[in-house]
Amino acid sequence: MKNPHIGSTFESFLQKEGIREEVDVLAQKRVLAWQIEQAMEEIGMTKVELAARMKTSRTQVERLLDPDNNKVQLDTLQRAAKAVGRTLKVELV
């Protein structure tokens, strides 16, 4: 029996399953959370310190760094980037 998925791309599989957008959004959020955590590690910053610099709660920082939570506002990401000495770049492609 021939496998119908041989030769297709992962993106086409996700599209066929109707979950490509959802997977893309979650992947982007996971990358951002990881990048913020890496920047925090580089400068020796704790979650409490990040929260203080962002003028928010530690609970909000926990949500921000949760790779499975894709409900984070753009201004929150911008404040987190600034707090770790980085800038946030968003572009349409």
| CATH number of residue 45's parent domain | 1.10.260
Q: What span, in angstroms and rounded, lies between the C-alpha atoms of 45 and 29?
A: 20
Residue 56 belongs to a domain? yes
| Residue 12 domain flag | no
In a domain, 36, yes or no: yes
pLDDT value, residue 13 = 81
**What pLDDT does 5 receive?**
63
Give the Å distances, CA to CA, from 78 to 1, 10, 12, 34, 38. 51, 31, 32, 15, 16
* More confidently predicted of 3 and 34: 34
Range of the domain at 73: 27-83
Domain count across the chain? 1
Query: How does pLDDT run across 5-40, given as a tens digit for each residue?
Result: 676 788 888 788 888 888 888 999 999 999 999 999
Residue 8 lies in a domain: no
